[in-house]
Amino acid sequence: MQESFIQQVTRETMQRIRSEAGGKREILLIFTGGDRAVDESLAQVKSLANGGLKFVAYLSPAAERIIGRDKVLNAGVSSILADSEVWDKGILDRVEGVVIPVLTMNTLSKTANMIADNPATNIILLAARFQKRIIAASDSIIPAGGPELSATSSVMRKINEMINSLRNMGIRVVSAKNLAREVAEALNVKTGALSPLANAGYSSICDVSIEDCIECGLCVENRPEDVREIIAAGATRVSSKPLSKPVGDLARYIDHTLLKAEATQEQIGELCEDAKRYKFATVCVNPANVKLASQLLSGSGVGVTTVIGFPLGATTPTVKALEARDAIANGADEIDMVINVGALKSGNLRLVEDDIRAVREATRGKVLKVILETGALSKEQIVTGSQLSKIAGADFVKTSTGFGPGGATAEDVALMRKTVGPQMGVKASGGIRTTQDVNDMIGAGATRIGASASVAIVSGGGDTGDGY
């Protein structure tokens, strides 16, 4: 399947290039080093070269040392450019686009911060300026051999900020497994083999077999059998063994929540006292109560979460961004935004992404969680919404507002976890009232819980009421 797909897209690519330019035009490859997914990226390049695309490459001194000229030439590259050729912007007149098969942390940082102090970043920034198509594979940003980074770590947030800066320049940042596909799409290839999400400009299909799947989240949307498998399996088969965390360990997962319209200042005070006593992760309050909660929790180690576009998600991206900035100015540490649910259900994926990006841009340095309102969505829409949240740079994807048609289910949490992979947060909220509910959600893949019955939960019981 992989070979036939690549042959198809490369054939269509070459037909378009030849019809527009009367012959082959080159694609410039930029290598600056990197030690992850190098072979995967070069295999993708070679498959396109075998289909007729012509590549030239520039290797920095670090890339020559780490990757080597021979390895690059063996991938079907016709020639290696000298430094002088890359410093000359005239190179852009002869190339169709620029591909960075192995994006390194150094190149990411310099490009995001517009530092053109070497041939590689100079030509990348010139290409962006002249609106050339640029595609970069991100697998090597975090070097091999070090510890994995959590989605909410300060380093990962900074990396996501820089990746979003590249995307704002028009640079596609993709997985090495999807590099051939993205090069084809960047060259305006139109093919029925692409999924609806991919045709909207998103990468969602990897070329790994089901047996080799590492659950990175890139391919679930195009594999409905996986959706059915998770639903059929149920929460008890999501993890390798039933989960039962000690009650005392649950508090750090919980956003202690009070979002009802009639919440008084006295009740907000009690909420904050409970949060300090039990050491919950944060309190979650409406924007009007953020300043009070921030004052009451100052120095306690408990954060303040608030909600944006809540509960309908039907305000514009501009309004949501304004809400988020105001909340942060008042002391919010984490933002839970509601997506434009109607846009997602209508298939207007660009609007959904723009909605999330607007809030992401307004919340730099803060944790952003994206509420999908899963009770209003099909399983396929849950997958698509989760993917869009990841693409737009959110830190968490979240199930529900608690005010919509249905709350969190372990099956939906498992589906979201499979979609976004292991490094992004998943928050379960809506109808979580018992210790067992929390354990089920964590077992399914949740890393944060939203609940109003938090005290009862961490006391080993639960609440049978109708709270959040």
Q: Is 235 left (phi over 0), alpha (psi -120 to 50) or beta?
A: alpha
Which listed residue (207, 226, 255, 336) is catalytic? 336
Contact (CB, 8 A) for 445 and 426: yes
Going by pLDDT thresholds of 50, 70 and 90, the confidence category of residue 201 is very low
Nearest partner of 177 among 43, 5, 31, judged by Cα: 43
pLDDT tens, residue by residue, 264-294 = 999 999 999 999 999 999 999 999 999 999 9
User: What is the pLDDT at residue 277?
Assistant: 96
pLDDT tens, residue by residue, 123-158 = 999 999 888 889 999 989 988 877 776 656 778 878
Is 345 noted as a catalytic residue in this protein?
no
Outline where 200-339 has alpha helix (H).
224-233, 265-278, 290-296, 317-329
d(CA 22, CA 17): 7
3-state DSSP helix/strand/coil percent for the chain, to nearest 5?
A: 50, 15, 35
Going by pLDDT thresholds of 50, 70 and 90, the confidence category of residue 10 is very low
CA 390 distance to own-chain centroid: 2
Q: Above 80 in pLDDT, residue 194?
A: no
Which listed residue (177, 390, 398, 418) is catalytic? 398
End-to-end CA, the chain:
46
Which listed residue (226, 427, 437, 440) is catalytic? 427
Please name each of the domains of the chain with its CATH number.
24-187 (3.40.50.1950), 202-244 (no CATH), 250-459 (3.20.20.70)
User: What is the pLDDT at residue 182?
Assistant: 80
Q: Is 325 left (phi over 0), alpha (psi -120 to 50) or beta?
A: alpha
Nearest partner of 223 among 234, 207, 243, 242, judged by Cα: 207
Residues of the chain above pLDDT 70, percent: 78
Per-residue burial over 371-393, b if 16 or more Cβ lie within 10 Å, else e, is bbbbbbbebbbbbbbbbbbbbbb
* Beta bridge partners of residue 56, listed in sequence order: 28, 79
d(CA 350, CA 343): 9
User: What is the pLDDT at residue 199?
Assistant: 38
Selected residue with higher pLDDT from 253 and 26: 253
What would the mean pLDDT of 65-92 be, rounded to a whole number? 89
Q: Give Dmax (Cα) for the chain.
A: 74
What would the mean pLDDT of 55-63 be, rounded to a whole number? 94
Going by pLDDT thresholds of 50, 70 and 90, the confidence category of residue 25 is low
Contact (CB, 8 A) for 111 and 2: no
What's the whole-number average pLDDT of the chain?
A: 83
Is 427 noted as a catalytic residue in this protein?
yes
d(CA 204, CA 222): 7
Nearest partner of 63 among 24, 107, 33, judged by Cα: 33
Going by pLDDT thresholds of 50, 70 and 90, the confidence category of residue 224 is low
What would the mean pLDDT of 30-36 be, rounded to a whole number? 93
- Among 38-52, 227-241, 438-452, whose mean pLDDT is lowest? 227-241
User: What is the pLDDT at residue 220?
Assistant: 45
User: What is the pLDDT at residue 226?
Assistant: 52
d(CA 407, CA 360): 25
| Residues whose CB falls within 8 Å of the CB of residue 300, separated by 6 or more in sequence, listed in order | 275, 276
User: What is the pLDDT at residue 180?
Assistant: 87
Residues of the chain above pLDDT 90, percent: 59
Selected residue with higher pLDDT from 9 and 451: 451
- Phi, psi dihedral angles at 136 (to 5 degrees): -130, 135
Is 158 noted as a catalytic residue in this protein?
no
User: What is the pLDDT at residue 174?
Assistant: 85
E strand or H helix at 154: helix 154-168
Q: Above 60 in pLDDT, residue 397?
A: yes
pLDDT tens, residue by residue, 320-372 = 999 999 999 999 999 999 999 999 999 999 899 999 999 999 998 899 999 99
Q: Is 369 left (phi over 0), alpha (psi -120 to 50) or beta?
A: beta
pLDDT tens, residue by residue, 158-179 = 888 898 889 888 898 888 888 8
Contact (CB, 8 A) for 198 and 185: yes
Q: Above 90 in pLDDT, residue 391?
A: no
Strand, helix or coil at 116?
A: coil
